[in-house]
Structure formats: structure tokens, C-alpha cells
């Protein structure tokens, strides 16, 4: 037997407990001091097979099932490499992000699409459906993310395309799933019901702080506020469609987040929506002017922990947890594509509408040689060629991070390290805290149920005697 290279052990200060986490299985296990002594012994023993055989059976199961211990002949990097290759080149799912328009009714401070107004034409819509039908051959599911601009400004196009995709998937007897990234301003209850019928089961809406902060960062085109309308819409639709609230953070709004959380608690939304924090980055020239206010990844990571703790204390159904992944995003998958309203196909969401972005295909005019070479560049992105990534414990939960950032900002020895690199221990401690509270709630609920059923039985017995 041998120790996994992806083990982390976190002693909990002022307690006798140690948490063990394995980045490949994502198992989080609590060890008592006696168990930890045995675990340390078996992980470092020269004759680990013998040390393992002497462990109590329960501990043996925990260590092997959670992948803290492996057979000597298992090569973890090779296993990950194969998973990654399969996810990239052998996925059975077609994943599309489609912008039916680049128009938007907001004028966000950090927007990189900067007032572009390209809408999808009917002939592009037809060409897109044929292109999708071709790509779906031999695949087993279609996933669409509606994006923009603001996709609800192109409702008719979303409706028509959804109906065509549904009928295509019906004909092929494969499932169709969709979600939407919207600013939430036009998301009425009727519209949410209609989206749901078109298989859109989740909408992500951005709220960047309490009213006074959000309205400065995400004003309407005419400068008016948008916060109240968005929050009202969330209240109207959350029982019809799953709502995920994204809060984009930079130096200028981070201090106001606790106030936003208080608003969600006051409005009784905190158990009805999920909320997560997004990191505003200087992704393109268009938003280079916000680079001075962007948080560095380690700064963002520190704040993320504090703000997740705030969410936990407020009672939100939220909190991140590192999961193993086989690829990173649409950009490193051979079956993932981003389609702009003019029919150009890209590999990355950041390429929408940016001047220097290079398409990898065109649903109307077909793929050129230059596009094919660009596609090769994206699909050639490989964290297993990066020395720091190969030596890094985070590899199974990170897979080299965002390929776009890596191409743009890093030097080739590593990918773009995500926040886990800086806050994994704290995030795991928080996850443990959440699970303990949940367990306590469940056992209290069980105890209450037990007391009630006994009380009811006693009462029935008394009645029967009378
Ligand atoms: S490459 Fe990065 S920015 Fe582009 S889609 Fe993937 S995660 Fe997003
Ligand atoms: S990108 Fe950074 S965190 Fe991710 S595997 Fe590479 S070195 Fe580790």
C-alpha cells in the first residue's frame, strides 16, 4: 500500500480532532487522536501492508474507500490524465453557450461587451440548428446556456431556438437541458414559467451589493437603478425556477456584501436562492480600466472565506466545496462551444465581442484553416504538461484552472491557480462546520419526532382506555 499524493491533514486547533481530505475522492473525514496516530503510522511505515493489516477494519475501509491509501501499482497522475483526456475528447455531451444578442439594457461598470448591439438573424438561427444537428450525431445529450448581452432582450430567438433544440433532441431520443445567465430585470413570473417549459431550469442573476452599491455598478442604460426590480423578480420566480445569485467582487464593493446578505435575510430569500461570489478580473482590454480595482487571487481567497462564514452564520443554503473535476470548462472540451449572435463560434466566454478574439468555427460560413489552428491551440491546453501542476496537491480539484487566464497571464510552468490554492484549509473547515450543524439539526429533528410520536401514542392509549 502507499499514501495518496493528494492527502491533506488539517489539525483543528483547540480540539483533538484532525480532518483528512483527499483531493481525488473529495472525502472529508474526521479522525480522533488515536485514529490519527494509526493513520500516520500506516502512511509512513516502511512495511505499510503489514501496518495496514493491523488496523481496525473500519479504519481500513475509510482509508481505502476515500483514497487516502492506494495499491502500490496505482499511478494517480496517470489515472487523472486519462480522466482528463476522456472528458476532453470523448465526452458524450454537447455543451453550448449561446448569445442570441449582444444588446443589453444595463450599462455595467465592468462590462467588456461595451454597448455592442449585434442580434442573431433568422438565417444564422437556421444555420446554428443545422450545425448543432451535425455535432449531435453520436452524442447523448445537449446542454445549452443562454448568455448575452441580455438574453431576455431576445426572447423570441430563445423561444424559437429552444423549440428547435427540443424537437431535435426528441427526434434523437436524447435529453435537453438549459440554463440562463440574465441580469434579472425582465424575469417576470410568466416568463419564468415559460422558460421552465422550455427546459431552462436554472437562472443566474447578478446582484453586486445592497441597493446603493449595486445601482452604481449595474445601472439601467438610462442610469436608473435596477436593484429593487431584480430583487422583486427573484421573489416572484424562485419557486418556479432555481435562482443562483452571483455577487461580483472587487475592491470597491467587497465591504458592502454583509449589508447585501442582511437584505436577503430580511426579505426571507436566504433559504430560497443560492449565492456565490464571483471574482472581477481584468479579462480584456475593454475592462482593463477596472484592473486597478480588481482583487488579486490571494486577496479574493481571504475575503471569500470571511464572506462564506457570513453566509453560513446568516443561515444561507450556500458554501463552496472542492469537487474532483476531469476538465475545467467549455474551453478545454472538444464538445463545448460558445456561439455569438453573428454565428461565430469561440472556445471561451471571454471571446464574445472582443476585438482580438479568434473564432474556431462559423456556423454560417464554415471553418477556415486559421480557425482550425486556433481550435488546436485551445484543445492543446494541457495541465499535465505543467511542472507545478504535476507536483500540486490541488490538481484533481483544479485541473490547471481557467485556460484563458493561463494563456494570457502565466508562464507555462503552471495554470491559473484558483482560490483553493490559497484558502482550501479554511473552506474545508467551513464545510465541516456546515455538515456538523446539519447533522445536529437532523438529530434534533429526529429526537423531536420521536418525542412527538410517543406523546401521540400515549394520548391514543389514554383515549382508548376512556
Ligand atoms: S477559459 Fe476561463 S474564462 Fe474562458 S470559459 Fe473557460 S473558465 Fe471561462
Ligand atoms: S493551476 Fe495552480 S493550483 Fe491548479 S494544479 Fe496548477 S499549480 Fe496547482
- Which tens digits make up the pLDDT trace of 186-195? 999 999 999 9
3-class secondary structure, 411: coil
Which ligand is in closest contact with the Cα of 387?
Answer: 2
Protein residue with its CA nearest to atom 5 in ligand 1 = 348
Q: In the predicted model, what is the mean pLDDT of residues 87-98? A: 96
Q: In the predicted model, what is the mean pLDDT of residues 251-255? A: 94
For residue 205, pLDDT beyond 60: yes
Residue that is written with C-alpha cell 410517543 in the block = 454
Residue 379: per-residue pLDDT = 95
For residue 285, pLDDT beyond 50: no
Which ligand is in closest contact with the Cα of 347?
Answer: 1
For residue 271, pLDDT beyond 90: no
Cα–Cα distances in Å, from 265 out to 32, 184, 274, 318? 37, 19, 12, 13
Ligand 2 in reach of 29 Cβ (< 6 A)? no
Residue that is written with C-alpha cell 490538481 in the block = 395
For residue 463, pLDDT beyond 90: no
Band of the pLDDT at 255, cuts 50, 70, 90? very high
For residue 461, pLDDT beyond 80: no
Cα–chain center distance at 354: 24
Q: In the predicted model, what is the mean pLDDT of residues 136-152? A: 95
Q: What is the CA radius of gyration of the chain?
A: 25
Ligand 1 pocket check: which of 349, 353, 377 to mutate, most ligand atoms within 8 Å of Cβ? Answer: 349
Band of the pLDDT at 87, cuts 50, 70, 90? very high
Asked if 218 and 210 count as a contact pair (C-beta separation under 8 A), the reply is no
3-class secondary structure, 10: strand
For the chain, what is the largest distance between any 2 Cα atoms, rounded to a whole number of angstroms? 91
- Calculate how far, in angstroms, residue 162's C-alpha sits from the geometric centre of ligand 1: 24
Q: Which residue has the higher pLDDT, 270 or 234?
A: 234
Ligand 2 in reach of 396 Cβ (< 6 A)? no
In DSSP terms, 220 is beta-bridged to 106
Cα–chain center distance at 194: 25
372 φ, ψ (degrees, to nearest 5):
-60, -40
Q: In the predicted model, what is the mean pLDDT of residues 224-230? A: 97
Cell matching residue 75: 499511478
- Calculate how far, in angstroms, residue 377's C-alpha sits from the geometric centre of ligand 1: 14
The pTM is what?
Answer: 0.89
For residue 355, pLDDT beyond 70: no
Q: In the predicted model, what is the mean pLDDT of residues 233-240? A: 97
Protein residue with its CA nearest to atom 7 in ligand 2 = 389
Q: Shortest CA distance to 244 belongs to which of 309, 182, 155?
A: 182
Residue 454: per-residue pLDDT = 75
Contacts of 389 (CB under 8 A, 6+ apart): 383, 395, 398, 400, 414, 415
Ligand 2 in reach of 80 Cβ (< 6 A)? no
3-class secondary structure, 116: coil
Ligand 1 in reach of 399 Cβ (< 6 A)? no
Q: In the predicted model, what is the mean pLDDT of residues 250-276? A: 94
- Calculate how far, in angstroms, residue 331's C-alpha sits from the geometric centre of ligand 1: 6
414 φ, ψ (degrees, to nearest 5):
-150, 170
What is the share, in percent, of the chain residues with pLDDT greater than 70?
A: 95
Tens digit of each residue's pLDDT (9 = 90 or more) over 100-136: 999 999 998 877 666 666 899 999 999 999 999 999 9
Residue 286: per-residue pLDDT = 43
Ligand 2 in reach of 400 Cβ (< 6 A)? yes
Band of the pLDDT at 409, cuts 50, 70, 90? confident
Which ligand is in closest contact with the Cα of 405?
Answer: 1
Q: In the predicted model, what is the mean pLDDT of residues 285-310? A: 81
Asked if 361 and 378 count as a contact pair (C-beta separation under 8 A), the reply is no
Amino acid at each position: 500500500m502507499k499514501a495518496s499524493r493528494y492527502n491533506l491533514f488539517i489539525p483543528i486547533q483547540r480540539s483533538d480532532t484532525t480532518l483528512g481530505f483527499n483531493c481525488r475522492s473529495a472525502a472529508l473525514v474526521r479522525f480522533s487522536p488515536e485514529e490519527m496516530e494509526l493513520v500516520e503510522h500506516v502512511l509512513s511505515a516502511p512495511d505499510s501492508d503489514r501496518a495496514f493489516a493491523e488496523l481496525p477494519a473500519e479504519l481500513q475501509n475509510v482509508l481505502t474507500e476515500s483514497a487516502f491509501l492506494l495499491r502500490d501499482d496505482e499511478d494517480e497522475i496517470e489515472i487523472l490524465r486519462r480522466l482528463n483526456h476522456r472528458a476532453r475528447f470523448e465526452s458524450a455531451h454537447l455543451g453550448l453557450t449561446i448569445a442570441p444578442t449582444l444588446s443589453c439594457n444595463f450599462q455595467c461598470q465592468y462590462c467588456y461587451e461595451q454597448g455592442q448591439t449585434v442580434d442573431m438573424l433568422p438565417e444564422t438561427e437556421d444555420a446554428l440548428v443545422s450545425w448543432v444537428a451535425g455535432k449531435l450525431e453520436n452524442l447523448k445529450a445537449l446542454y445549452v446556456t443562454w448568455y448575452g448581452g441580455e438574453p431576455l432582450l431576445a426572447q423570441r430567438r430563445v423561444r424559437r431556438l429552444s423549440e428547435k433544440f427540443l424537437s431535435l433532441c426528441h427526434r434523437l431520443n436524447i435529453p435537453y437541458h438549459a440554463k440562463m445567465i440574465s441580469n434579472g430585470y425582465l424575469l417576470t413570473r410568466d416568463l419564468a414559467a415559460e422558460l421552465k417549459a422550455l427546459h431552462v431550469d436554472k437562472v443566474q442573476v447578478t446582484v453586486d451589493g445592497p441597493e446603493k452599491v449595486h445601482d452604481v455598478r449595474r445601472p439601467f442604460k438610462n442610469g436608473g437603478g435596477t436593484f429593487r426590480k431584480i430583487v422583486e423578480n427573484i421573489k416572484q420566480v424562485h419557486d418556479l425556477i432555481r435562482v443562483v445569485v452571483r455577487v461580483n467582487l472587487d475592491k470597491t464593493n467587497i465591504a458592502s456584501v454583509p449589508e447585501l446578505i442582511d437584505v436577503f435575510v430580511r426579505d426571507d430569500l436566504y433559504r430560497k436562492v443560492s449565492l456565490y461570489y464571483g471574482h472581477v478580473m481584468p479579462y480584456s482590454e475593454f475592462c482593463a480600466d477596472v484592473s486597478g480595482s480588481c482583487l488579486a487571487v490571494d486577496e479574493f481567497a481571504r475575503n471569500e472565506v470571511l464572506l462564506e462564514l457570513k453566509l453560513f452564520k446568516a443561515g444561507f443554503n450556500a458554501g463552496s466545496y472542492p469537487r474532483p473535476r476531469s476538465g475545467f470548462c467549455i474551453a478545454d472540451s472538444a464538445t463545448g462551444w460558445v456561439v455569438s449572435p453573428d454565428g461565430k463560434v469561440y472556445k471561451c466566454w471571454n471571446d464574445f465581442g472582443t476585438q482580438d478574439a479568434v473564432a474556431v468555427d462559423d456556423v454560417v460560413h464554415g471553418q477556415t484553416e486559421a480557425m482550425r489552428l486556433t481550435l488546436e491551440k485551445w484543445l492543446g491546453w494541457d495541465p499535465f504538461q505543467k511542472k507545478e501542476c504535476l507536483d500540486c496537491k490541488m490538481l484533481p480539484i483544479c485541473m490547471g484552472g481557467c485556460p484563458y487566464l493561463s494563456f494570457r497571464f502565466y508562464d507555462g510552468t503552471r495554470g491559473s491557480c484558483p482560490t483553493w490554492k490559497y484558502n482550501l484549509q479554511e473552506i474545508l473547515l467551513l464545510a465541516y462546520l456546515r455538515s456538523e450543524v446539519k447533522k445536529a439539526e437532523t438529530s434534533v429533528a429526529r429526537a423531536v419526532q420521536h418525542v412527538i410520536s410517543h406523546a401521540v401514542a400515549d394520548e391514543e392509549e389514554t383515549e382508548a382506555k376512556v
